[in-house]
Amino acid sequence: MDLSSINPVLLVASLMVAATPILLAAIGELVVEKAGVLNLGVEGMMITGAICGFALAVETGSPLVGFVSAAIGGALLSLLFVILTQYALANQVASGLALTLFGLGFSALLGQDYVGLKPPATPRLDIPVLSDLPVVGPILFSHDPVLYLGIALTAAVWAVLKFTRVGLVLRAVGENHDAAHALGYKVVRIRVLAIMFGGACAGLGGAYISLIRVPQWTEGMTAGVGWIALALVVFASWKPWRALLGAYLFGGVTVMQLNLQAAGVAIPVEYLAMSPYLITIVVLVILSADKSSAPASLGRIFHASN
């Protein structure tokens, strides 16, 4: 066992990278669920975003175009869910699962010509003095811009939900859509926008995997991250900062367990391999002891005639 071979600074820096896709998808889904909609299609929207972003970044040579089109791709796919659940009034669980299956197949089809290609590199932040600082430099000032976007988005969602009128209306729709409707708010329109925001965030998260974290395209490359993001929203009690904590915890333990293995720590590998799931759930369950509950209208179908 040689723990000294683990460099804590590099560890923190790489756990932030590992956590970002989960965080982006979870923040998007949090907004969707706050509006009272349960979209289980996160995985499908992520993988679609991953290939849309990858394909356009390769074609144009610009990672920025890639990320923008990933967000658009994810949002467009979520429109399918919108049509099914908001206009055709289909069951949300079934529609969400269908969206995941569709997204996985559709992305495989889109991606056939992109296997084995390399995307353009996304530049990292390089601030002359700050990035060279010991410890804080690698941790805080030398990541890619999308990672900061993830954190900024968390802060923005938190502030909007807590302090603004828009956030209040969104929460009202999620808690009691009949009352919100009676007050004259356009329930369906608000939900459609929330779902599209969720789709865009999931798409960004997917593109983060295919453009920065891995970076390449392979079928099924999101490998369940969308489901982890979904679970995280629930365990984080629909609170943005807790979602951030959960994502960093999950990413952190994932990276940590690989590092411990590489350092030859004498803990059986089986325990290390399950530790990210276990630790994240335990911590968030303890945190959620304050009995904050799900949005009351979560998953319920709304129609103005009811």
Partner 1 sequence: MKLKTLLTGAALALGLATAGFAEDKTKVGFVYVGPVGDGGWTFTHDQGRKAVEAEFGDKVETVFVENVAEGPDAERVLTQMALDGADLIFTTSFGFGEATINVAKKFPNVKFEHATGYQRADNVSTYSARFYEGRAVQGHIAGSMTESNIIGYIASYPIPEVIRGINSAYIHAKKANPDVEFRIVWVYTWFDPAKEADAAKALIEQGADVILQHTDSTAPHAAAQEAGGVVTFGQASDMSQYAPFPRVSALLDVWAPYYIERTRAVMEGTWESVDTWNGIAEGMVGIGEITDAVPAEVKAEALALKEALRTGEYHAFTGPINKQDGSVWLAEGETANDGDLAGMQFYVEGIVGDIPN
| Window contacting partner 1 (CB under 8 A); options: 53-61, 185-193, 265-273, 297-305 | 265-273
Q: What angle do CA 168, 227, 300 make, to 5 degrees?
A: 45
Shortest Cβ 197–partner 1 spacing (Å)? 24
Which of 40, 30, 32, 36 has the alpha carbon at shortest distance from 102?
40
**Among residues 70 and 84, whose Cβ is nearest to partner 1?**
70
Q: Is 111 in the site for partner 1 (CB under 8 A)?
A: yes
Q: Is 117 in the site for partner 1 (CB under 8 A)?
A: yes
Token pair for 272: 């290390």
The packing angle between helices 145-163 and 187-208, to 10°, is 160
Q: Is 176 in the site for partner 1 (CB under 8 A)?
A: no
Dist. CA 287–CA 140, nearest whole Å: 26
Burial zone of 82 (CB within 10 Å; 0-12 exposed, 13-18 middle, 19+ buried):
buried
Q: Is 270 in the site for partner 1 (CB under 8 A)?
A: yes
| Window contacting partner 1 (CB under 8 A); options: 77-85, 151-159, 160-168, 253-261 | 253-261
Near partner 1 by CB under 8 A: residue from 101, 136, 183, 273? 273
Alpha helices in the chain (DSSP H): 8-34, 42-60, 63-82, 92-110, 136-140, 145-163, 165-175, 177-182, 187-208, 225-235, 240-262, 269-287
Q: Is 266 in the site for partner 1 (CB under 8 A)?
A: yes
Positions in 10-49 near partner 1 (CB under 8 A): 10-11, 14, 18, 21
**Among residues 240 and 276, whose Cβ is nearest to partner 1?**
276
Residue recorded with tokens 């791709």: 73
Near partner 1 by CB under 8 A: residue from 130, 135, 136, 262? 262
Shortest Cβ 121–partner 1 spacing (Å)? 8
Near partner 1 by CB under 8 A: residue from 90, 97, 108, 301? 108
Positions in 197-236 near partner 1 (CB under 8 A): 209, 213-216, 218-223, 225
Q: In sequence order, what are the residues at sequence separation of 6 or more whose Cβ sits closer than 8 angstroms to the Cβ of residue 291?
A: none
Contact 107, 48 (CB under 8 A): yes
Token pair for 224: 């369940």
Return residues touching partner 1 (CB under 8 A): 5-7, 10-11, 14, 18, 21, 108, 111-112, 115-118, 209, 213-216, 218-223, 225, 254-255, 258-259, 261-264, 266, 268-270, 273
